[in-house]
Structure 1
Amino acid sequence: MFDRLRKILERRSYDAAQGGRRWRGQPSMPAPVTETHAARFTLAARARYAVSNNPLAASGLEAWVNSLVGVGVKPQSRHPDPATRDLLSTRFERWTDTADADGLTDFYGLQASLVRSMIVVGEAFTVLVTEGGRLRVRQIDPDQVDASHNVRLANGAQIVQGVEFDTVGRRVAYHVFTERPGQIFGEHSLRRERIPAEDVVHLFRPLWPGQVRGLSWFAPILLRMADHDSTRDAQQVRQKVGAMLTGFVRSADGGGQPFDGEQVGGAITGGLEPGTIKYLAPGEEVVFSNPPAIGMDAVAFMRLTEREIAVGLGVPPYLLHGDLSDVNFSSIRAGLIAFRERVEALQHSVLVYQALRPIYERWATLEALTGRVVSRVEDATPAVWVTPRQVWVDPLKDTQAEILAISAGLKSRREAVASRGVDIEALDAEIATDKARADGLGLTFAPANDNAPAVADDAA
C-alpha cells in the first residue's frame, strides 16, 4: 500500500515535478530566502578570492563594471526653470569631485566601486554624511552591517541580518559596526551604531521576495570556475613533466649510464650542444622522449566550460576571455544587443533606483534648503539619468538608422542624444557656440545632410 501511495504521489503532469529514480539525489531549494541568508557569506568570500586570482573572474567583473558604469551615469535636472536647471547641473558637476568622504575618488568612481562590491560580494553600502551643510558619501564594507544581529522587537518589528524593519516591513535602520573589518591597529570592535535607513544606501540585486541582503553574482559559476582552474593546472603540469624528459640511452645489458656533461642537481647544464655527435657503446641506442601535447578534445572542452562560465555570469563569452576568433559581425552584434538590454535594465531598476536617485535627491535637497540654489525642494529633486554611450559595432549604419527613426517620428532627438551619454541641452548650447564662432571667423563647413538621399536609398 505504501509503494502504491508513493507511486501516485510521484506522478505529476510536469516532468520536473515528478519523483522516481531519475530525480533521486537531485538538490532543490524550497526556501530561497533562507538559503540566501545562510550562503551569502561563504559565497562572498569565495568570490573575493576568485576575482583576485582567476583571470576569467577578474575579466568578467570588469566587463560588468565597465558596462554598467563606464565613465559614470549622470543626472539631468528636470527643474521647470531653465536657468535653475543649468545651475543645478553646474553645481552637481562641481560636487562630484568632493563626493567621496574618504577622498579616494569622485562620484563616478564611487559608482564603479559600489557596482564592483555588488557583483563580487552581492551588495554595497554607503552612508550619507552631512558636513558643513554639504553632502559626503562614505562607502562602508558590507561586513560592517552585522549579519549576525537578529532580534524580534516590540509590536512585530524585527532586526534581520543587521537590517531593522518596522511593523509593516519597511526598512527603518541599519545596525553597523563602528570599525571597519581588517583594521591594522587595534582589535575589531563589536560596538554597533544604529543608522536611520534614509542615511544609508543599500545596493543589491533582488532575486526573491523578502530578500534582505544581496548575493554574489558569481554564485552560479564558482564551482565551475574552480573545476576549470583544476583542469588547466593539470594540463600545464602534464606539459611541464613531458618537457622535462629529453632522452634515454638504452644499453644491451640493461645498465644505465648518465649523459656526459656538467650536472647540477638533476639537470645537465653543459656538454650537450646543437650538432653534437655522441658515440655510443655497441648495443646502445638513444630514444628521445615525446612530450604529450594538449589534445583538441581538451581545448574544446575548456572552451565550452568558458562559455558556460560566461553564460552563468551573464556576459558575452568574448568579454570574458577576449578571444574573437569565433566571432563574426552578425554574432557580435546580436550578442551586444541582448547584453546591452540586460545592462540597461539593471542600470535603471537597480543602480539608479537604489543608489543614484537617493544620493542626488539628498544633494539637491541640501542645495535648496541652504539657499545655494533658490528653488523649492520638490522642483530641485527630479532628474533623469543618462547612461554612458555604448560604442556601436557599425557606426555608419546605426547612425543612419537613428536619423531615419527621428525623421519618421519613431524616436525623439532627446532620446537619441541621451543614448549617447550626452545632455541634449549642453549639446545644443555647444553646437550654437561653435556655429556662432565659425560664423564670426567666416568659416564654412559642408552641410551635415549631404548623404541624406543615400541613407534613404540604402534603407529602401
Structure 2
Amino acid sequence: MVGGGIKPQSTHPDPAKAEELNLLWEHWTPQADADGGLDFNGLLGLAVRGMVIDGESFCSFGFENGQLKLRLIDPDQIDSSRDQQLTGGANIIQGIELDRSGRRLAYHLFRDRIGLGFAWSQERVRLPASEVLHLFNPIVAGQLRGLSWFAPVLLRLADLDTAHDAQLVRQKIAALLTGFIIDMEGTGGSLAESVADSFAETSLEPGEMRVLKSGQDVRFSEPAKVGAEVIDFLKITAREIAAGLGLPYEVLTGDLSDVNYSSIRAGLVEWRRQVDALQRNVIIHKFCRPIWRRFITTAILTGQIDAPGFERNPEPYLSANWLTRRFDWVDPKKDVEAEIAAINAGLMSRRQAVAGRGIDIEDLDREIAADRDRAKDLKLAFGGEPTASDKEVDDV
C-alpha cells in the first residue's frame, strides 16, 4: 500500500511557489524521523504495517532545531485500561480523552515503551490530540481503537498451522520406519535374545548386503504420500484466510498454478480498487495530509519560506495532491495503448495519466525537455527521430 512512497504535489496557484514547497518537502523527508532511523516513506511504511498487524499506529509531532520531527508510538504504550469520567462531561475511554460531544482531546499513554525491562517506567503522560496522529481503518461508527486485520482469520491460521505440523510429523514418522524384520517361523527365541536383538544394528548403508537368520524376512515400509485431499484442504483453508484478509488467494500465497492471464487480471482489478480506497481514505487522509499541513505551517512560521497572504488564506499553501505508486501489469503495452487512446479521445488528461504512475508531471516534462536538448546537442536520435546531421543533409 505504500511501495516506494506516497508523494505530495503542491497545488499552489503560483507554479514557482508550488515548486518551492515541493522542494522544501523533498529536503525534509530524509530527516523526518525523530529517532534518525528512517525517512518519511520509511516511517509511513512502518505505520501502515502497524495498522495491519496491530490494527492501529500512533505518531507524535515534535520540534527540533527548527525542524518538524515525527516519532512513532507503540500502540501498547496507550493506557487501554484507563476508563474515567471527568468533570464537564469529558471521558477517558481506552486511554483516549473525549469531550462531551465525542471529540478527541488527548491521549493518555505510558512514557516508555513496554518491554524495556528495568528501564521501563509506569509514568503516564497526556498528549493533546492535536499533537498525535492515530492511523487505523474504522469499520463501525464511533470506533475509538483499531482492530488487527488478522483478527477475523486467527482461528483459520491456527488450523492451518496445526494441519501443517500434523502432516510434517506424519512424514517424519513414515521416513523413520525404513522396514521391518519378520520372523516367518515364529521362533523369536528367549526374552534375553529378543532384548539383545532389539539393540542390534539395523540401519542400512549404500550397497550393503546383510545375511538374515533362518526363517526371517524383510518388508520395507511404504510411507503414505501427501494425498490430494491434504492439498485441497490446505488450499481451501488458504482461500478462506485470503478472503478474511481481503486479499486475492494468489497474492497471499504466490500460487499461480490455477490462474490464467484473464483470471488473475480480473482478480487484481478489484483488489487494487480496495487498495486505492485505503490509500486515499485512510492512509493519506489520516496520516500524510496532516503531516504535510503541519510541515508547511511550521516552515512558514519559522521563516523557512516566504508565504504572502498565508494568515488571511492558508489553503493555497496547505493543499496538495498525493501521488501513489502505480501497480505494474503483466502486459504494460496494452495499458499504455489504452491510456493513449483515452487521452486522444479526451477521456483522460495527460496529467492524470502521469499522476497515475506516481510521477509529478512537472518533473517529467523538465526531464523530457532536458533529454531532448542534450540529444540535440550530441546529435542523437531515439524512437526513429532523424538526427541533426540527417536534417542538415535533407536541407542541402
- The answer to whether TM tops 0.5 is yes
Paired position in structure 1 for 2:132: 200
1:434 equivalenced with 2:371 (yes/no): yes
SS at match of 2:230: helix
Q: Is the 8 A contact 1:84 1:373 kept in 2?
A: no
1:365 equivalenced with 2:302 (yes/no): no
Paired position in structure 2 for 1:411: 348
Whole-angstrom distance in 1 between the partners of 2:187 and 2:360: 84
SS at match of 1:220: helix
Whole-angstrom distance in 2 between the partners of 1:237 and 1:389: 44
Paired position in structure 1 for 2:389: none
Q: One-letter code of the match for 2:174?
A: G
For 1:343-362, list aligned pairs within 5 A: 343-362=275-294
Overall identity of the aligned pairs, in %: 51
SS at match of 2:80: coil
Quote the offset at 1:88 in angstroms: 1.0
1:69 equivalenced with 2:2 (yes/no): yes
Distance change >3 Å, CA 266–CA 428, structure 1 → 2: farther
1:384 equivalenced with 2:321 (yes/no): yes
SS at match of 1:190: coil
Quote the offset at 1:268 in angstroms: 4.8
Which of residues 267, 288, 292 is equivalent to 2:224? 292
Distance change >3 Å, CA 250–CA 137, structure 1 → 2: same
Quote the offset at 1:267 in angstroms: 7.2
* CA deviations over 1:133-186 (Å, ceiling 9, x no partner): 210000010111111111112232111111111121111111121111111443
1:162 equivalenced with 2:99 (yes/no): no
Paired position in structure 2 for 1:224: 156
For 1:79-118, list aligned pairs within 5 A: 79-118=12-51
* CA deviations over 1:341-378 (Å, ceiling 9, x no partner): 00000001000001111011000001111221111243
Distance change >3 Å, CA 171–CA 266, structure 1 → 2: farther
Alignment RMSD: 2.1
1:445 equivalenced with 2:382 (yes/no): yes
For 1:295-306, list aligned pairs within 5 A: 295-306=227-238
Whole-angstrom distance in 2 between the partners of 1:183 and 1:173: 25
Q: Which ranges of structure 2 fall in alignment gaps of 5 or more residues?
A: 386-396
Aligned residues: 376
SS at match of 1:71: coil
1:312 equivalenced with 2:244 (yes/no): yes
Paired position in structure 1 for 2:261: 329
1:282 equivalenced with 2:219 (yes/no): no
Paired position in structure 1 for 2:388: none
Which of residues 51, 73, 89 is equivalent to 1:140? 73
Which of residues 420, 425, 445 is equivalent to 2:357? 420
Distance change >3 Å, CA 329–CA 285, structure 1 → 2: same
SS at match of 2:152: coil
Whole-angstrom distance in 2 between the partners of 1:368 and 1:331: 51
Quote the offset at 1:447 in angstroms: 5.3
Paired position in structure 1 for 2:59: 126
SS at match of 2:121: coil
* CA deviations over 1:184-232 (Å, ceiling 9, x no partner): 443x322211111111000000011111000000011110000111011
Q: One-letter code of the match for 1:407?
A: N
Whole-angstrom distance in 1 between the partners of 2:343 and 2:176: 66
Distance change >3 Å, CA 266–CA 216, structure 1 → 2: farther
Whole-angstrom distance in 1 between the partners of 2:187 and 2:318: 90
1:339 equivalenced with 2:271 (yes/no): yes
Whole-angstrom distance in 2 between the partners of 1:240 and 1:440: 70
Which of residues 129, 133, 150 is equivalent to 2:83? 150
Whole-angstrom distance in 1 between the partners of 2:206 and 2:155: 47
Whole-angstrom distance in 1 between the partners of 2:280 and 2:212: 77
For 1:222-261, list aligned pairs within 5 A: 222-251=154-183, 252-255=185-188
Paired position in structure 2 for 1:173: 106
1:401 equivalenced with 2:338 (yes/no): yes
Q: One-letter code of the match for 1:76?
A: Q
Whole-angstrom distance in 2 between the partners of 1:369 and 1:200: 20
310-319 or 97-106: bigger deviation: 310-319
Q: Is the 8 A contact 1:151 1:159 kept in 2?
A: yes
